[in-house]
């Protein structure tokens, strides 16, 4: 079975981050590794959270945004008010993400167009060079 806990080095290797990053995320209350003496032990929960954190970052969410969203993913026994707040927050982020997706599709299409133009220009230049030889 997947080890119950990981030390800081295993975490770093697994997720491609530095120790500093993990400690930083802890101070920001994004991760809650348990302690064995002084040393941090990262649980399955921490790994799940870190995965979501890194994903969130790729979409341009701030760590603070992410921290609040993680509440939705890891709320087992939240109060109604809290749960409802997280839910609204998630709704707004979902809207963001869907807007981002639409724009991304546009951008991809445009980029492809530009690249096609570039290809033509390059082909043209190649033809000229070939003719000159």
103 binds a copy of itself (CB under 8 A): yes
What does the angle CA 100 – CA 58 – CA 26 come to, to the nearest 5 degrees? 130
Positions 10 through 69 that interact with a copy of itself (CB under 8 A): 55, 58-60
Closest CA to 70 of 54, 52, 58, 88: 52
94 binds a copy of itself (CB under 8 A): yes
Is residue 42 within 8 Å of 8, Cβ to Cβ? Answer: yes
Cα distance between residue 58 and residue 24, in whole Å: 18
In the complex, least distance from residue 15 CB atom to a copy of itself, rounded to whole angstroms? 15
Is residue 42 within 8 Å of 11, Cβ to Cβ? Answer: yes
Inter-axis angle of helices 19-27 and 8-15, nearest 10:
100
Cα distance between residue 98 and residue 92, in whole Å: 10
Binding segment toward a copy of itself, per CB under 8 A, in 1-9, 17-25, 31-39, 81-89: 81-89
19 binds DNA (CB under 7 A): yes
Positions 40 through 99 that interact with DNA (CB under 7 A): 40, 57, 62-64
The contact set with a copy of itself (CB under 8 A) reads 55, 58-60, 72-73, 80, 83-84, 86-87, 90-91, 93-94, 97-98, 100-101, 103-105, 107-108, 111-112, 114-115, 118-119, 121-122, 125
The contact set with DNA (CB under 7 A) reads 7-9, 18-21, 23-24, 37-40, 57, 62-64
């Amino acid at each position: 079975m997947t080890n119950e806990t990981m030390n800081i080095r295993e975490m770093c290797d697994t997720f491609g981050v530095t120790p500093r990053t993990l400690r930083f995320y802890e101070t920001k209350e994004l991760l809650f590794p348990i302690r064995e003496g002084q040393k941090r032990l990262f649980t399955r929960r921490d790994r799940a959270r870190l995965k979501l954190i890194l994903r969130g970052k790729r979409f341009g969410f701030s760590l603070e945004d992410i921290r609040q969203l993680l509440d939705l993913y890891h709320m087992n026994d939240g109060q109604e008010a809290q749960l409802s707040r997280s839910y609204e927050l998630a709704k707004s982020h979902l809207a963001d993400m869907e807007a981002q997706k639409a724009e991304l599709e546009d951008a991809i299409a445009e980029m492809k167009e530009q690249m096609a133009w570039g290809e033509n220009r390059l082909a043209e230049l190649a033809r000229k060079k070939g003719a000159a030889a």
